[in-house]
């Protein structure tokens, strides 16, 4: 109700003068103005972390330097969605070389945990808690891989701000405090978790000061010892010792043998732009497949967030997610037919499944746990227009809830996204990387960087990417409005964890979508509901090549901001 009042007030002000009218150009959904700067910019979901990144840029650090510093801070300040017990993916644009790079820093399952362990115990899906969903954390290795190729300042400088905040404390922000409280309840029976994250017997509330001196010591150790300190030194030893104590399967070799992988980003063209995503084991290719379908349609003529428009997106999403469930897995174990999946000919063939007036009900079926997922996203562009699009996560909130003794962070539960269905491309295997939901994105035009962005939130991420892109490229919104505009989320598609849907799933709508649109979708056969959460969190930086400026946005669904200088 408050947002409606604000929009009406802005409409009244717009009548009064040209400046207000300019403010609204392409920004009918914007909750605030875009942020514009020339020397560097950071956008992420926690304000203090964003400021740390800006300070690194001011000290002469590269975009990658700032991104590492921001990610370290988020692991402390937003542990509900990130931390060095999780994985990392990144897209980096080197503006001097005019080249794009992809980094997959997701870790594999323990080599000593076999499929037979699950099968013998009658376990049909990998749980989200305890040691069974553990995979090797790839975050720290990802930092050092990025730093080796693109860094400038020493790692001690990059981690120093977070170490200071961990020692001295920081005020917990509003949305993070809410999710923190939910996790403290969820992990009531995990003593190490409670000791670290609920030191007063409860989660910290908004504005209260939280310290994590154990994490400070861990980061100091990593800053001095480097990657080997985490994967071959004291940190790995502590995690493995804890694993043995609680019935886990980690061995020192799991850590010592791990290396992140530089990968070639995938791309498709859409309305004169090239959209870049990372290949599987992530789900970024779904965005590209989806755009291949949508380029065959005149979406603008349908009207933004009209029933016809949303129906087109929902139904094509179902088609794409069917392929996502079948083909997206660790390429070391399963080779997806990527070229075919991204071809226009294949898109036209698949589009024959689309009915413009009728919802399909038997395309797909999935498990609820893939719809969830807590993640952080950040993007940085420096003064030379080098850019980083980086996403990092523990997967399910704080991850598995397991805090190894003396490290100051949780171990992720990303292995919960393995299938336990024999013969499935994403079926569990020792030393295998699971299907991943977290995806960074990047856009170029005529060989120049244009837009670095991401939308966090489990299976919502491709849906968020496509909606934000269409808002900008098809409907001409500015990048702040594109993120703030009301979204839909379809849940219940086929999942890489196995299982199929037979009832068409459920379409969830944000409150800004009118009731008549909801009614029309129901008439087309959709099951529709309204909800206030689960629509992801977006940040983005647009590189204005004409004016040589940076334009930043951070949506109202998160605590964060875009900040530049």
Quote the mean pLDDT of the chain: 92
Residue 213: Cβ within 10 Å count: 13
Distance CA 168, CA 162 (A): 10
Q: Is the pLDDT of residue 123 over 50?
A: yes
Average pLDDT over residues 143-161: 98
pLDDT at 494: 80
Axis crossing angle, helix 213-225 with helix 63-77, rounded to the nearest 10: 150
Which of 17-31, 402-416, 522-536: highest mean pLDDT?
Answer: 402-416
Cα 215 from Cα 201, distance rounded (Å):
19
pLDDT at 5 over 90: no
Q: How many other C-beta atoms are found inside a 10 Å radius of the C-beta of residue 221?
A: 16
Percent of the chain with pLDDT over 90: 87
Query: What mean pLDDT comes out for the span 494-523?
Result: 87
**Range with the lowest mean pLDDT among 135-149, 494-508, 542-556?**
494-508
pLDDT in tens, 357-374: 999 886 643 234 445 556
pTM: 0.93
Are residues 471 and 477 in contact, defined by beta-carbon separation less than 8 angstroms?
A: yes
What pLDDT was estimated at residue 248? 97
CA distances, 338 to each of 189, 347, 441, 498, 518 (Å): 44, 12, 18, 21, 36
Q: In this predicted structure, what is the pLDDT of residue 552?
A: 98
Tallying the residues shown for the chain, one arrives at: 565
What domains are there in the chain, each with its CATH number? Answer: 31-108+137-226+265-401+435-565 (3.60.20.40)
Tell me, what's the pLDDT at 20? 39
Residue 490: phi and psi, rounded to 5, are: -100, 125
What's the rounded mean pLDDT across residues 67-74?
Answer: 98
Confidence of residue 499 (pLDDT cuts 50, 70, 90): low
Confidence class of residue 6 from pLDDT cuts 50, 70 and 90? Answer: very low
pLDDT at 532: 81
The residue behind tokens 């409860």 is: 202
Q: Which secondary structure element, helix H or strand E, spans residue 12, and what is its range?
A: helix 2-15
Q: Where does 98-144 show beta strands of DSSP type E?
A: 99-105
Q: How many CB atoms lie within 10 A of CB 349?
A: 10
User: For residue 537, what are its two tokens?
Assistant: 């969190």
Smallest CA-to-CA distance from 80 within 410, 344, 520 is with 410
Residue 84 has pLDDT above 90, yes or no: yes
Give strand pairing partners of 554. Answer: 539
pLDDT attached to residue 533: 84
pLDDT at 504 over 90: no
Percent share of the chain, pLDDT over 70: 93
Catalytic residue list contains 375: yes
Distance CA 400, CA 336 (A): 29
Side by side, which strands form the sheet with 488-491? 488-491, 506-509, 528-530
Mark out the alpha helices in 78-169 (DSSP H runs). 115-120, 139-150, 155-168
Convert the pLDDT of each residue in 363-409 to its tens digit: 643 234 445 556 899 999 999 999 999 999 999 889 999 999 999 99
What distances in angstroms separate CA 18 from CA 13, 15, 22, 480, one per listed residue?
10, 8, 6, 20
Q: Span 199-203, mean pLDDT?
A: 95
- Whether the per-residue pLDDT at 21 is higher than 80: the answer is no
Indicate which residue of 80, 135, 162, 375 is catalytic: 375
């Amino acid at each position: 109700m408050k947002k409606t009042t604000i929009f009406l007030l802005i409409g009244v002000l717009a009548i009064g003068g040209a400046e207000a009218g300019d403010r609204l150009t392409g920004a009918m959904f914007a909750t605030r103005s875009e942020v514009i700067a020339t020397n560097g910019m950071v956008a992420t979901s926690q304000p203090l972390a964003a400021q740390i990144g800006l300070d690194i840029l001011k000290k002469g650090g590269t975009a990658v330097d700032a991104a590492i510093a921001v990610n370290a801070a988020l692991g402390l300040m937003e542990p509900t969605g990130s931390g060095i017990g999780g994985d990392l993916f990144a897209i980096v644009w080197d503006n001097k070389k005019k080249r794009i790079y992809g980094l997959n820093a997701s870790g594999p399952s323990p080599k000593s945990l076999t499929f037979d362990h699950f099968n013998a115990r009658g376990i049909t899906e990998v749980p989200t808690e305890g040691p069974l969903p553990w995979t090797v954390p790839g975050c720290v290795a990802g930092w050092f891989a990025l730093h080796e190729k693109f860094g400038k300042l020493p790692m001690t400088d990059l981690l120093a701000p977070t170490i200071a905040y961990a020692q001295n404390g920081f005020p917990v922000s509003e949305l993070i405090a809410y999710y923190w409280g939910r996790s403290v309840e969820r992990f009531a029976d995990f003593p190490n978790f409670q000791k670290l994250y609920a030191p007063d017997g409860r989660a910290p509330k908004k504005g209260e000061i939280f310290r994590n001196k154990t994490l400070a010591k861990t980061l100091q150790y990593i800053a001095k010892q480097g990657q080997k300190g985490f994967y071959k030194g004291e940190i790995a030893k502590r995690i493995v010792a804890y694993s043995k104590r609680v019935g886990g399967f980690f061995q020192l070799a799991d850590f010592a043998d791990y290396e992140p992988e530089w990968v070639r980003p995938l791309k498709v063209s859409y309305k004169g732009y090239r959209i870049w995503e990372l290949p599987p084991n992530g789900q970024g290719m779904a965005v590209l497949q989806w755009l291949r379908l949508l380029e065959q349609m005149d979406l603008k003529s349908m009207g933004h967030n009209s029933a016809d428009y949303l129906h087109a997106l929902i139904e094509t999403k179902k088609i794409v997610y069917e392929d996502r469930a079948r083909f997206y897995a660790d390429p070391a174990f399963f080779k997806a037919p990527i070229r075919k999946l991204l071809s226009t000919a294949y898109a036209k063939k698949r589009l024959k499944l689309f009915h413009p007036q009728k919802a399909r009900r038997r395309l797909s079926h999935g498990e609820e746990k893939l719809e969830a997922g807590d993640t952080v996203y950040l993007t940085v562009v420096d003064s030379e227009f080098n850019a980083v699009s980086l996403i990092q996560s523990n997967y399910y909130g704080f991850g598995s809830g397991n805090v190894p003794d003396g490290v100051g962070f949780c171990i992720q539960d990303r292995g919960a996204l393995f299938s336990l269905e024999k013969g499935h491309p994403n079926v569990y295997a020792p030393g295998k990387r699971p299907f991943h939901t977290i995806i960074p994105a990047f856009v170029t035009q005529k060989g120049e960087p244009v837009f670095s962005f991401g939308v966090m939130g489990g299976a919502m991420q491709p849906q968020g990417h496509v909606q934000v892109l269409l808002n900008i490229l098809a409907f001409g919104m500015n990048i702040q409005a594109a993120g703030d505009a009301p979204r839909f989320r379809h849940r219940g598609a086929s999942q890489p964890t196995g299982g199929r849907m037979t009832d068409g799933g459920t379409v969830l709508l944000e409150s800004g979508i009118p009731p008549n649109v909801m009614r029309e979708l129901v008439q087309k056969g959709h099951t529709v509901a309204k909800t206030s959460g689960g629509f992801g969190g977006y940040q983005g930086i647009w590189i204005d090549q004409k004016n040589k400026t940076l334009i930043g946005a951070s949506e109202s669904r998160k605590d964060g901001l875009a900040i530049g200088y």
